Amino acid sequence: MTSINLADRAVDLGEWARRTPDATSEFTRAVREWLAQNLVDEFALLMGKGGPGSEHEFFAERLAWDRHLAASGWTCLGWPTRYGGRGATLEQRIIFHQEYARANAPARVNHLGEELLGPTLIEFGTEEQKQRFLPGIVDVTELWAQGYSEPGAGSDLAGVSTTARLDDDGNRWHINGQKIWTSLAHVAQWVFVVARSEPGSSRHKGLSFLLVPLDQSGVTVRPIQQLTGTSEFNEVFFDDATTEADLIVGAPGEGWAVAMGLLQFERGVSTLGQQVGFARELDALTEMARANGTLGDPEIATRLVRARIRLRAMRANAQRTLDGDAASSGGTWGAAAAAGVASVAKLLWANWHRDLGELAMAVAGPASLIGPTETVEGRRNEIADPEHVELDEWQRLFLFTRADTIYGGSNEVQRNIIAERVLGLPREARA
């Protein structure tokens, strides 16, 4: 197994490198060389920018970087070549995400299109939909938002109340309702929406999966300011908004299956790259503890060691899961166990990252309580926007990771999925 130094300790190719050593090593070299040659000049200034809680940073510049990746064939790696992808193997996709994270390359702006909607269209969409939308995702000329959560539904996707109905001549869908926590809707051109298309239906029945343009009079996007002072997500109001009748993915009333298929793509190979970022954060926090002397505190030292052990366990679980996916198209898991794989992974990384934010505040000590608009002497600094809170990296990590256990399916929802679908326990009573 490849051994990596302290700064890169989370990166080892493990089983992936042993399976196809020649092809894997060649691909690894290609990714590393391209990143080294291209993360220069103006792009070098973007390194480490735009991560969770910092999506506002250099957005236009990161969009240009994504388009630069596209021009060199580094977007949509796993897609079939006939749809503009590279036809990369699972091993190669894992390597790319890991090497991208190792290089501290900027956060991508096209995740929802490339990792979620694109694979969903390839799996469930019509050929006309693929030809219409996939090219814009590949070359990053059209950005997408996700219209799932609602004020009265939250992580309970089956509880959505936004409605969609076909007009009398069957040409257009008319959509009414509200979505919330809609990431990047303020910069996207399109949103995929789960809406109730069958009056009187309930829960997962009667839902449809629609592709809706955001630039129209019937759509209002209202940014929501987060604890971090930024506005990465939004409220989206649909007041008789419309979309073409054929912009429905799957059959009318069968949107639940499409929506669930998309969520499986959400927790794919990119999570290993995410863990490289986690390892970098943990290494930096350990160095801060060493520098300010808190590493000598037995409690702090123990928590840092436990964090590293949990990170390794998280990685082992991800590799085991992906290994099962690679073994066969259906994976090596039984149907019941497969239902809980994504939920286990979400619980592991969300709770780990939240706990790291809390540990960062303990390591920083009293300094973690000093806001950027005041000094130790209590004198206030002038900032251009008093409503926008500027934070240091650890304060931002602590505040933003409060949301890690909520977005993408809350802890409570994930545990219910595991209990009901995997362990066969009685379903939670619903009002």
- 1, part of any domain: no
Residue found by looking up tokens 């130790």 in the block? 376
Residue found by looking up tokens 């309702």 in the block? 177
- For CA atoms 342, 343, 349, 354, the dihedral sign is positive
- Same domain? For 294 and 413 the reply is yes
Residue 380 binned pLDDT confidence (cut-offs 50, 70, 90)? very low
Longest dimension (CA), the chain: 73
pLDDT at 226 over 70: yes
- Same domain? For 275 and 241 the reply is no
For the chain, give the mean pLDDT.
80
What is residue 303's predicted lDDT score, i.e. its pLDDT? 95
Write the CATH number for 247. 2.40.110.10
pLDDT at 12 over 70: no
Domain boundary among 210, 226, 253: 253
pLDDT at 326 over 80: no
If we measure between CA atoms, which residue out of 246, 227, 313 comes closest to residue 278?
313
Residue found by looking up tokens 């019937």 in the block? 218
Query: What is the pLDDT averaged over residues 292-314?
Result: 93
Cβ atoms < 10 Å from Cβ of 256:
19
Write the CATH number for 74. 1.10.540.10
| 374: its two tokens | 């005041």
DSSP string, 251-297: STTBHHHHHHHHHHHHTSTHHHHHHHHHHHHHHHHHHHHHHHTGGGS
Query: What is the pLDDT averaged over residues 85-97?
Result: 86
- Same domain? For 247 and 277 the reply is no
- Same domain? For 196 and 78 the reply is no
| 164: its two tokens | 């969609």
- For CA atoms 308, 314, 319, 320, the dihedral sign is positive
The number of C-alpha atoms within 13 Å of 55 and in the hemisphere containing its C-beta is: 21
Cβ atoms < 10 Å from Cβ of 87:
12
Each residue's pLDDT tens digit, 38-66: 999 999 988 888 777 677 778 889 999 99
- 302 and 377 Cβ atoms separated by less than 8 Å: no
- Same domain? For 290 and 409 the reply is yes
- CA 23/CA 249 separation, integer angstroms: 36
- 126, part of any domain: no
Each residue's pLDDT tens digit, 213-224: 999 999 999 988
Domain boundary among 55, 82, 108: 108
What is residue 277's predicted lDDT score, i.e. its pLDDT? 81
- 136, part of any domain: no
- 345, part of any domain: yes
| 332: its two tokens | 């090596």
- Same domain? For 408 and 326 the reply is yes
> Any catalytic annotation for residue 393?
no
**DSSP conformation class of 380:** B
Write the CATH number for 306. 1.20.140.10
Query: What is the pLDDT averaged over residues 195-203?
Result: 79
- Same domain? For 313 and 201 the reply is no
Each residue's pLDDT tens digit, 263-291: 766 555 666 667 778 888 899 999 999 99
**DSSP conformation class of 165:** E
- Same domain? For 56 and 153 the reply is no
- Same domain? For 276 and 395 the reply is yes
Residue found by looking up tokens 């198209």 in the block? 329
Which range among 42-56, 251-265, 335-349, 355-369 shows the weakest confidence by mean pLDDT?
335-349
- 116, part of any domain: no
Amino acid identity of residue 310, one-letter, is R
Amino acid identity of residue 180, one-letter, is I
- Same domain? For 30 and 90 the reply is yes
- 132, part of any domain: no
- 212 and 235 Cβ atoms separated by less than 8 Å: no
Range of the domain at 350: 267-423
- Same domain? For 181 and 285 the reply is no
DSSP string, 121-135: HHHHS-HHHHHHHHH
pTM, to two decimals:
0.76
Q: For the chain, what is the domain count? A: 3
Choice among 232, 266, 281, 393 that is catalytic: 266
- 318, part of any domain: yes
β partners of residue 104: none
Burial class (CB in 10 A: 0-12, 13-18, 19+), 323: middle
β partners of residue 166: 173
What is residue 324's predicted lDDT score, i.e. its pLDDT? 57
- CA 28/CA 24 separation, integer angstroms: 6
Domain boundary among 80, 108, 136: 108
- 114, part of any domain: no
- Same domain? For 248 and 305 the reply is no
